[in-house]
Every structure is written in structure tokens, then in C-alpha cells.
Amino acid sequence: MWAPPEMIRSARDLGQTSIALTDHASLSNFESILESLLIEREAAKAWGDIEVFVGLEITHVPAKHIAGMAKKARRAGAEVILVHGETLSEPVEPGTNRASVECQDIDILAHPGLISEEDASLAMQNGIFLEITAKRGHSLTNGHVAKVAQHVGASMLVNTDAHDPADLITAERAIQIALGAGIPNNEALKIVNENAKTLIHRIRNRK
Ligand SMILES: [Zn+2]
């Protein structure tokens, strides 16, 4: 079970300068999740040297409700909004990927499985990052996601999908995971360094 303060400290120990806490959320619980995470963030300021972003991973919400929920979550203080995409390992409703890439309130489509070129193209047009994931199971389709994203010019991020401190990784490991998905070296470096910064700037500018 994850304990947010432990995640924050572990990320810091791995040399990370920021972390996004994004618990699984659906329509009934997103407000209470955000409230709790804001309290954790406030407390973690005592450690000073790691920036904490609070958000949600919209999970198993019917595709037709994703855009509405994302809007409400943003108003409730979600700084980073992911959707649990159509992974092969923990499948959600078909159409979840499409509903996510059409919604500009979404920042990242997590583990999008066998995403179509059309959906990846919409992600590119709407500035939504596609996730290359460190998580076992979800990572089965990293190679496919990387290929389609590169083909249409969609931006990728390497995320841990960490549910436990042991799931957290260093930047070096993130680069290896991108390389393992078949992404060329210069592009892997860009994804891990610059794309992550682009998202952080976007979050800061929204505040
Ligand atoms: Zn997920």
C-alpha cells in the first residue's frame, strides 16, 4: 500500500527533484483524494528540496464521463490529470483512449496499450503525453506505443506508475526503459529530460 510521504522521501533519495502523486480516482472519490494529497504536500514542505504535484489517475470511469470528470477535477485542484488507458494487463472500457486524447484537460494517457494511430495523432494535436511505463504488465506494449507515437509525432513521457517506493526509478533507469521500447538514444534523452520539464512548466503556468 502506498504512503504518500514515503513516496516523496524515496523519490528524493533517488535524486528526483519532483514527483506527481496521482491516486486512482473515479467520480465519487476524487475530491477526497485531492484533499488528502494537498495535506501531504503541505507537510512535505518540511523536506523542502522536492517539488510535489498533486493529481489523479482517472481509472475505470465510463468513457463518456471522462471529460466532465477531468474538468471537475481541475477545478478541485488537480494539477496533473492522467487517464488509466487501455493497457493489456488491467483493461478498461474500449473507447477510454479516444475519450482521453480528445480532452484537453488530460495531461497524460497512461499505458495506452495497443493505441491506434488516429488516437496517437489526436494526443499530438491536443498536447497529451503518451506514457512509456516502467510498470510490469503495462510495459508489454511500450514498443508499440513508442512506434506509433514517433510515427505521428506525439510526445512521450517515461512514468513509473509507482504504487510502492520499490517501483520508483532513477533518471538513468528511465532512459534505459525508453531505449528498451526501441526509442533512439537522442530521443530517449529528450523524453526523460525535456518532456518532463515541459509538463512541469505547463503545470506551474496553470497555477
Ligand atoms: Zn493505471
Residue 109 Cα to ligand 1 midpoint, Å, equals 9
Q: In this predicted model, what pLDDT tens digit does every residue of 142-159 receive, in sequence order?
A: 999 999 999 999 999 999
Asked whether the predicted pLDDT for residue 50 surpasses 80, the reply is: yes
Residue 85 Cα to ligand 1 midpoint, Å, equals 7
Residue 84 Cα to ligand 1 midpoint, Å, equals 4
Residue 126 Cα to ligand 1 midpoint, Å, equals 21
Residue 15 Cα to ligand 1 midpoint, Å, equals 24
- The kind and range of the H/E element at 110 are strand 108-110
Asked whether the predicted pLDDT for residue 1 surpasses 60, the reply is: no
> 190, 192, 166, 162: which is closest to 177 by C-alpha?
192
Taking the C-alpha atoms of residue 56 and residue 52, their distance in angstroms, rounded to an integer, is 13
- Higher pLDDT pick, 206 / 180: 180
- Higher pLDDT pick, 179 / 163: 179
Q: In this predicted model, what pLDDT tens digit does every residue of 71-96 receive, in sequence order?
A: 999 999 999 999 999 999 999 999 99
Nearest 5°: phi and psi at 175? -65, -40
